[in-house]
């Protein structure tokens, strides 16, 4: 009887504590208050977090980061209580010395892990302990952004390429992106004629799932005119003939087709750079950087540049102001007067 009375007293104390904290009282919460919460496994929560991501590419990249974290921890279970500032700083050193990751790659990994930690906190799985990532976040370093000048872009346009070669289409796609808002290659390859109304390209951005509309400039319209004569009769046809049509609508098959097309595109861009005598490392993203820098050099308002690029904030776009600023050039030219 004494044991039962003591148990009842402790349960009532747990209930009173929850009431004083103005928390919703449930049998589970009383049990947790009485015997304590079971430790939560970080990797188990990370799996649930990954399942909630819609974009396959994002999920794949973040799964790789979680894999690195598990490899460092050297165990299948890692409780949140074990993740402290010292543990994270050791992980930072591991990524740098063992994995040979660059500072910005390490910073990205920490951002993903911090997001999972916040996700767990929102689910009330961590408790009130401070987020150790806030004190252990590694710093970023300025990155070199590759872009083409207008003169280099004209050299690429002027290249004589056999229309039967895939490089001909890859050159056209790069030029189209460099003049049409820096559309990402994953979106370009999926464009169909139904996305073009004669003046604008309208599509859903693969990365953000947001709708975007960009007016097509004259030089890019000429590229569309060429393809319109080849395959523009059916609105369901791809504008650029690089993607294999998949009638099954299987997302995994479509993703493989896209990855193969992107790889071929990026390989050919290296060859095109040599042929055009451009001593820069061309990739699909360089077209996006090229449009942004050209837009700012033409004095297009940075807010509009940011909106056309689909950035969430102008802060993302500000990086381009540091690599091409006509006002700074004019200021330095004063020394030549």
Give backbone dihedrals phi and psi of 72, rounded to 5 degrees, phi first: -65, -45
* Predicted pLDDT of residue 202: 94
Straight-line distance from the first to the last Cα atom of the chain, in angstroms, rounded to the nearest whole number: 100
Q: Which residues in 306-320 are b (16+ Cβ under 10 Å) and which e? A: bebbbeeeeeebeeb
Mean pLDDT value across residues 309-320: 82
- For 86, the token pair is 């010292």
Q: What confidence tens digit (pLDDT) does each residue in 251-304 have?
A: 778 888 888 899 999 999 999 999 999 999 999 999 999 999 999 888 888 889
The CA-based angle 319-323-327, given to 5 degrees, is: 105
Burial (CB count within 10 angstroms: exposed 0-12, middle 13-18, buried 19+), residue 236? exposed
Q: Quick count: other Cβ atoms within 10 Å of Cβ 162?
A: 7
Contact 202, 211 (CB under 8 A): yes
CA proximity to 314, closest of 300, 330, 328, 297: 300
Q: Quick count: other Cβ atoms within 10 Å of Cβ 159?
A: 13
Which band of pLDDT confidence, cut at 50, 70 and 90, is reported for residue 148? very high
Q: How far apart are CA 145 and CA 285, in angstroms?
A: 10
* Predicted pLDDT of residue 337: 61
CA proximity to 208, closest of 67, 316, 296: 316
**pLDDT at 32 exceeding the cut of 50:** no
Contact 29, 5 (CB under 8 A): no
Higher pLDDT among residues 248 and 176, named by residue? 176
Q: What confidence tens digit (pLDDT) does each residue in 205-261 have?
A: 888 888 999 999 999 999 999 999 888 789 999 999 888 777 767 777 888 888 889
Helices 166-179 and 251-275: crossing angle in degrees, nearest 10, is 90
Contact 334, 303 (CB under 8 A): no
Cα 119 to chain centroid distance, Å, stands at: 19
> Long-range contacts for 11-17 (Cβ within 8 Å, ≥24 apart)?
none
Secondary structure of residue 87 in the 3-state scheme = helix
Q: How far apart are CA 36 and CA 17, in angstroms?
A: 13
């Amino acid at each position: 009887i004494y044991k039962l009375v003591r148990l009842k007293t402790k349960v009532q104390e747990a209930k009173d504590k929850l009431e004083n904290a103005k928390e919703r009282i449930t049998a589970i919460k009383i049990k947790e208050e009485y015997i304590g919460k079971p430790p939560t496994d970080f990797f188990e929560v990370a799996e649930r977090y990954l399942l909630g991501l819609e974009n396959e590419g994002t999920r794949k990249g973040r799964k790789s980061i979680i894999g690195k974290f598990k490899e460092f921890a050297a165990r299948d279970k890692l409780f949140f209580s074990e993740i402290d500032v010292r543990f994270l700083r050791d992980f930072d050193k591991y990524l740098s010395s063992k994995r040979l990751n660059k500072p910005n790659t390490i910073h990205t990994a920490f951002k993903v892990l911090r997001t999972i930690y916040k996700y767990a906190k929102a689910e009330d799985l961590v408790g009130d302990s401070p987020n150790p990532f806030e004190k252990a976040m590694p710093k970023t370093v300025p990155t070199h952004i590759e872009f083409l000048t207008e003169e280099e872009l004209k050299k690429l346009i002027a290249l004589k390429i056999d229309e039967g070669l895939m490089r001909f289409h890859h050159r056209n796609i790069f030029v189209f992106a460099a003049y049409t808002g820096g559309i990402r290659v994953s979106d370009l390859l999926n464009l169909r004629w139904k996305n073009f109304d004669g003046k604008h390209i309208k599509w859903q951005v693969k990365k953000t799932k947001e709708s975007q509309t960009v007016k097509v400039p004259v030089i890019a319209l000429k590229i569309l005119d060429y393809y319109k004569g080849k395959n523009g009769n059916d609105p369901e046809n791809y504008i650029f003939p690089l993607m294999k049509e998949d009638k099954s609508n299987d997302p995994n098959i479509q993703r493989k087709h896209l990855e193969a097309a992107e790889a071929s595109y990026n390989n050919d861009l290296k060859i095109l750079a040599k042929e055009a005598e451009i001593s820069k490392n061309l990739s699909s993203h360089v077209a996006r950087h090229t449009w942004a820098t050209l837009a700012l050099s033409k004095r297009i308002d940075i807010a509009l540049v940011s909106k056309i690029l689909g950035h969430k904030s102008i802060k993302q776009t500000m990086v381009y102001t540091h690599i091409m600023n006509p006002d700074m050039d004019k200021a330095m030219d004063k020394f030549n007067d």
